[in-house]
Amino acid sequence: METILVTTTEKIPGHDYTVIGEVFGLTTQSKNVFRNIGASLKNVVGGEIKDYTKMLEESRDIAVDRLRSNAAAMGADAVVMMRFDSGSIGQDMQSVAAYGTAVKFREV
């Protein structure tokens, strides 16, 4: 798969494009028992829960990879106005969505 440019801006300097449509990349990750034990201990003393941070970073990367795959399947060259959304599903799952607008570059 050719690399799909992903940007949080609306305009891509030096490129004109046609909008193809909305594009998404989604993932849901569950916390494992070891992460839960570590988080419980951190609740007592405070501080960053590094296993959860790592899980969210991995989730973000998976969501962007899926966004790119979805855009490529639509014939896009890039995704503009990319954003993230995340939330908990119950107490043991975290979802991350990457979304934006798939675009096709126009010949100048």
Domain range annotation of the chain: 5-105
Q: What is the pLDDT of residues 80-90, one digit of tens each?
A: 999 999 988 87
Superfamily of domain 5-105: Hypothetical protein apc22750. Chain B (3.30.110.70)
Paired tokens of 96: 């991350």
d(CA 33, CA 30): 10
Asked whether the beta carbons of 86 and 97 are under 8 A apart, the reply is: yes
| Ordered DSSP codes for 37-73 | HHHHHHHHH-S--HHHHHHHHHHHHHHHHHHHHHHHH
State the pTM of this model: 0.82
55-86 residue pLDDT tens: 889 999 999 999 999 999 999 999 999 999 99
